[in-house]
Amino acid sequence: DVKVTQSSRYLVKRTGEKVFLECVQDMDHENMFWYRQDPGLGLRLIYFSYDVKMKEKGDIPEGYSVSREKKERFSLILESASTNQTSMYLCASSLPTSGRPDTQYFGPGTRLTVL
């Protein structure tokens, strides 16, 4: 089974702090993603990565950056956390398969609260 793990289930930070959210997958997937999930807005893509050291902006990249130094690990960074970044953050990974959609497998999520 695909396993995607996230470093924290719950996190509380203060405004202005630098925040690191870590995600690790154990299935050698090439693609990795960071989403945030908010009530009434569904899942929104922040950043994704097709390969090591490669990153692409999603729909809402402002206020975030990412790092992918190793294939299995994709980090989301909040350089200076703000209260509007309080949310559930979901990491996902997928393996490109010719002729089929890239089904994404999700981690359990990190609920971040910024005070």
Can you give the binding site for other proteins, defined by CB under 8 A? 4, 9, 31, 33, 40-43, 45, 48, 50, 56, 58, 90-92, 94, 96, 99-109
User: Six-digit token pair at 54?
Assistant: 């490669």
Which residue number, 17 or 102, has a Cβ lying nearer to other proteins?
Answer: 102
DSSP states along 7-72: S-SEEEE-TT--EEEEEEESS--SEEEEEEEETTTEEEEEEEESSTT--EE-S--TT-EEEEEETT
User: Six-digit token pair at 12?
Assistant: 């509380």
**Phi, psi of 107, deg, nearest 5:** -80, 180
User: Six-digit token pair at 4?
Assistant: 């995607």
| Closest distance to other proteins from the beta carbon of 23 (Å) | 11
Instruction: Please identify which residue in the block is written with the tokens 């930070």.
Output: 13
| Closest distance to other proteins from the beta carbon of 4 (Å) | 7
| Closest distance to other proteins from the beta carbon of 15 (Å) | 26
Which residue number, 15 or 102, has a Cβ lying nearer to other proteins?
Answer: 102
| Closest distance to other proteins from the beta carbon of 80 (Å) | 26
Which residue number, 91 or 112, has a Cβ lying nearer to other proteins?
Answer: 91
Which residue number, 90 or 112, has a Cβ lying nearer to other proteins?
Answer: 90
